[in-house]
């Protein structure tokens, strides 16, 4: 085993052990306590929160802002987002006093080579997500050793069994809302008077890129409108480990 691969293996093993220990400790913790622990574990310079500024994003951003509004927030501007999402990002950034929101875009070279006609979302949505979300996020997270996201078990599918803390390659991945109920999320919105995403009133319960987001019927899961008609349920940023 080379020195580089040995160090990578050791880092992953340490991350895995640390994640299991933290997950056991935080399995019943409040979202704010999870974020506080993440901050104490790695420090602000090594911690980032990844947000889509989607329909449920404001609750996590509010909890984070109450702990430390200077924690870096990574926003993936894929080039296919609704204008309403970009406006919502700006609204929440100002309202919550977020001090370090970083809008990350896909590499122009990758787009021109792999998606020159902007039709990749239709012919190969996994490849589209890879160049517009997965690669940009991996690039943005390189300086950090841990990150926070807003997945919840009640969202179902691959998210039904997520832990509070998991290892993500050589990084720690914190899921402060893993245990949260839909009612708890709604209570945060109500108490803090958080504005809803502009598209919620139009029937969008989950909002991603324009071509791959549709309205959701009242009896459907919140994410049923994502990649409708396909077996795809995740963009890949939560199924591909970062390093």
Catalytic residues, by residue number, are 235
Residue 128 annotated in ligand binding: yes
> What distance in Å separates the CA atoms of residue 130 and residue 38, rounded to the nearest whole number?
27
Looking at the chain, list the stretches that DSSP marks H as alpha helix, in order from N- to C-terminal side.
Answer: 3-26, 31-42, 57-67, 83-96, 108-114, 120-123, 125-129, 135-141, 182-192
Residue 186 annotated in ligand binding: no
Closest CA to 96 of 53, 60, 62: 62
Residue 98 annotated in ligand binding: no
Are the C-beta atoms of 192 and 61 separated by less than 8 Å?
no
Closest CA to 89 of 76, 108, 80, 106: 76
Q: What tokens appear for 243 in the block? A: 């390093």
Greatest alpha-carbon span in the chain: 56
Residue 212 annotated in ligand binding: yes
Neighbour-count burial for 139-175, b at 16+ CB within 10 Å, e otherwise: ebbeebbbbbbbbbbbbeeebeebbbbbbbbbbbbbb
Feature table: binding site for [4Fe-4S] cluster = 128-129, 209, 212
Feature table: binding site = 128-129, 209, 212
């Amino acid at each position: 085993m080379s020195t580089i691969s040995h160090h990578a293996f050791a880092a992953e093993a340490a991350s895995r052990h640390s994640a299991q220990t933290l997950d056991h400790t935080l399995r019943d913790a409040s979202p704010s306590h999870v974020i506080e622990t993440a901050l104490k574990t790695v420090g602000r310079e090594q911690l980032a929160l990844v947000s889509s500024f989607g329909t449920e994003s404001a609750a996590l951003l509010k909890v984070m802002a109450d702990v430390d509004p200077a924690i870096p927030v990574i926003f993936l501007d894929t080039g296919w987002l609704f204008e309403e999402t970009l406006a919502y990002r700006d609204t929440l950034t100002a309202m919550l006093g977020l001090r370090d929101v970083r809008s990350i875009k896909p590499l122009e070279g990758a787009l021109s080579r792999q998606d020159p006609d902007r039709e990749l979302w239709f012919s190969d949505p996994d490849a589209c997500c890879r160049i517009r979300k997965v690669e940009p996020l991996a690039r943005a997270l390189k300086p950090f050793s841990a990150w926070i996201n807003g997945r919840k078990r009640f969202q179902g599918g691959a998210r039904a069994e997520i832990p509070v803390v998991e290892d993500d390659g050589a990084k720690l991945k914190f899921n402060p809302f893993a245990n949260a109920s839909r009612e708890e999320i709604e209570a945060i919105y109500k108490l803090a008077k958080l504005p809803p995403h502009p598209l919620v009133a139009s029937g969008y319960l989950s909002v991603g890129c324009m071509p791959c987001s549709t309205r959701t019927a009242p009896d459907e899961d919140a994410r049923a409108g994502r990649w409708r008609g396909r077996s795809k349920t995740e963009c890949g940023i939560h199924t591909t480990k970062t390093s």
